[in-house]
Amino acid sequence: MALSAATLEVGATRTEVVLENISRTRLVMYAGASGDYNPLHTDEVYITQVAGYPTVFAHGMLSMGATGKLLTDWVGNGRLTKYGVRFVNQVWPGETLTATATVEAIREEGGVHYADFSVTTVNQDGKPVVTGSATARLDA
Amino acid sequence: MTIERFPVEESHILMFARAIGDENPVYTDPGSPEAAEFGGVIAPPTFTMAGMQFDPDAFLRPKLGEPWFGSASEPSGATIESTGRLHAEQHFEYHRPLVAGEILRAEERQGESWAKESKRGGTLQFEEMFVDYVSVDTGDIVVTARMVSVLPSQAVQG
Third-level CATH fold of B3-62+74-152: Thiol Ester Dehydrase; Chain A (3.10.129)
Using alpha carbons, list the distances in angstroms from residue A70 to A14, A23, A28: 8, 20, 23
Distance from CA of A120 to the nearest CA of B (A): 14
Q: Give the pairing type, strands B122-135 and B103-118.
A: antiparallel
- Walk along chain B (158 residues) in steps of 10 and give the mean pLDDT of each run: 93 98 98 97 98 94 93 85 80 98 96 91 91 97 97 76
Residue A1: pLDDT band (50, 70, 90) is low
Contact B16 A33 (CB under 8 A): yes
Contact status, residue B27 vs residue B44, Cβ threshold 8 Å: yes
Dist. CA A58–CA A41, nearest whole Å: 6
Q: Which of residues 25-44 of B touch A (CB under 8 A)?
A: 26, 34, 37-38, 42, 44
ipTM given for this complex? 0.97
| Partner residue facing B92 (CB), from A35, A60, A82 | A82
Task: Say if domain A13-22+58-138 classifies as CATH 3.10.129.10.
Answer: yes
Residue A115: pLDDT band (50, 70, 90) is very high
User: In what helix (H) or strand (E) does residue B25 lie, and over which residues does it extend?
Assistant: helix B25-28
In the three-class reduction of DSSP (H, G, I as helix; E, B as strand; rest coil), residue A93 is classed as coil
- Domain parsing of chain A, residue ranges: 13-22+58-138
